[in-house]
Chains A and B, each alone.
Chain A
Amino acid sequence: MVSIMIVSHSALLSAGVQEFVSQVAGPEVRIAAVGGAPDGGLGTSVEQIRAALSSIATAEGVLVLVDLKGAVIAVDAALEELDDLRVVVSNAPLVEGAYLAAIEASVGATLDETATAALRACDILKVHCPS
């Protein structure tokens, strides 16, 4: 089964998204949350990302959801020393993307299908703005 990884600049933010999506995904989908700099401030930790990726990796792969571009750079750095992992970093908005991805992963979808489901988050209109 595809795993989901949440990477943000805040440990609390990542943990909150993880709490939210794990309730819809059920117990079978592995979801890791990494956030914050090693000193506890805002930022990302390549070491923590690497450890989390290794811990949830499955043969089907890992879909990574991020808050801001800096998290993508950290994930790419972490992947440089990880071989043979199937990892896709999603451009989807963090909360909606993680939600849709977790649901798709929970029914046994492939990494491609899970990544596609996450990107559909861009189509969601939450508030109908006056034009």
Chain B
Amino acid sequence: MAVASRNKLCKQEQRVVEAEVVVQTPSGLHARPAALLYQTVRRFQSRFTITNLDKPRSAELAITPVNLLLADVNQGQRIRLRADGPDEQAALAAVQDLIVANFGE
């Protein structure tokens, strides 16, 4: 019991931050943008998930190279990003900046 309640407390202390963004790059989130997104995420300790909100029955996926392709995000589609970890605010801001800047394209 004691262990369970302590775990619960830890869980509550870890905040999850999230943001919704529209991907505007012509090729969507494939090839180079997907690579850049993963490389940016991995500069931080926080764990990220992505959900393609404009794809029917889309799941929340941990951000990995293959999952970014499986999320199948095309131009104009809205995604939800969730970050969870010690540097989540900075991490989420960096990823949002990258997407809003169209990955430098």
Interface residues of A (CB under 8 A from B): 23-26, 99-100, 102-104, 106-108, 117, 120-121, 123-124
In the complex, A23 Cα to B36 Cα: how many Å? 11
In the complex, A103 Cα to B70 Cα: how many Å? 15
**Beta-carbon contact of A120 and B39 below 8 Å:** no
Q: Is the interface of A mostly helix, strand, loop or mixed?
A: helix
State which size class the interface on B falls in: 10 to 19
Which residue of chain A is the closest to B42 with respect to CB atoms?
A107
Interface residues of B (CB under 8 A from A): 31-32, 34-35, 38-39, 42, 64-66, 69-70
Please judge, given known A-B contacts A23-B32, A24-B35, whether A104 and B70 are in contact too, CB under 8 Å: no
**Beta-carbon contact of B38 and A103 below 8 Å:** yes
In the complex, A99 Cα to B65 Cα: how many Å? 9
